[in-house]
Amino acid sequence: MKSLLVAVALALANAGAAFAQDYPSRPITLIVPFAAGGAADTIGRIMADGISKHAGQSVIVENIAGAGGATGSARVKNARPDGYTIGLGSMGTHAAAVQVNPNLPFDPKTDFDFLGLVSTTPNALFVRKDFAANTLKEYVAYARAKGHSGIGSAPHITIVLLSQLIGVEPTMVSYRGFGQTINDILSGTIDGSCDLVAAVSGHVHGGSVKALVIAADERSPAVPGVPTASEAGLPEFKAETWTGLYAPKGTPPAALAKLSEAIAKTLADPASVKRLAAIGAGVPKPERQGGAYMQKLVVSEVDRWRKILVGVKAGE
């Protein structure tokens, strides 16, 4: 019996070593839980290119939108934990969703193996170009209707935070993605929204929308002329959207290590950094990279947004 156990142990060890040596041997799927064309999609594609380059295997981006990112995130949870399916998550999908969606089909704290943060970017309040307000102070007087990408998404929870701080009750209009939101802002159907600087910076520079405030302590290099929340007189308005990569729980350690290495190399690659900066997304500082940090961040963010979003539920 003892010799049998030793043989089994050796076989498992050899299998693990073989997996580590061969992985990845086929394309990896990166699920982005939002529609194509938005900031999350762009960040996902930048990371897919980098991981492909540094891991030596192609990475295919698959957009699975719906339920504020919950649909795509659940797909990752239920995928085979073999290292060939990973997902892109954010403060919306892996923090706020716990409070706003009582039927969330996954637990952000326990259902995933985290690979680490890949970008951080503040949110911005922006309005159509002909909106009467040109500053946050003027906006408070006019705030009526805003659009967002879905209950629990980063735009939605940022709007909830802003609305609480300025004491207004805007008409919430739910969208499947930034593309639909910006189209309705440009057409004048809705007045404005809160979304990633990474998503809206191009429209700000093009003059099609006006950004009134950055929900952060520092100005964004992507839109340097837009004041911070403190400069605009609302220092409590802070909403940094972080994005990170993760895998289904139980993914082999060898795969996690290889993916983490490829991610670290991508974030240190000047070409990737430049692409992220071009859309207003910053690379996390070294101490904020890695799976262990992301795990702690998810736990703390779930607690933070649970307090802010008391009473907010999916479908409202």
Domain boundaries, the chain: 19-120+240-308, 122-214
pLDDT 10s digits, 237-270:
988 889 999 999 999 999 999 999 999 999 999 9
pLDDT of residue 39: 83
The answer to whether the CB of 228 falls within 8 A of the CB of 218 is yes
Query: How many angstroms separate the CA atoms of 57 and 88, rounded?
Result: 18
Name the DSSP letter for residue 135. Answer: S
pTM beyond 0.85: the answer is no
Task: State the CATH class of domain 19-120+240-308.
Answer: alpha beta
Residues 65-77: b if buried by 16+ CB within 10 A, e if exposed: bebbbbbbbbbbb
Q: Which CATH architecture has domain 122-214?
A: 3-Layer(aba) Sandwich (3.40)
Q: In the structure, what pLDDT confidence band is assigned to residue 13 with cuts at 50, 70 and 90?
A: very low
Query: Would you give the DSSP letter of residue 137?
Result: H
pLDDT tens for each residue of 79-109? 999 999 999 999 989 998 998 888 999 999 9
246 neighbors 87 (Cβ within 8 angstroms) = yes
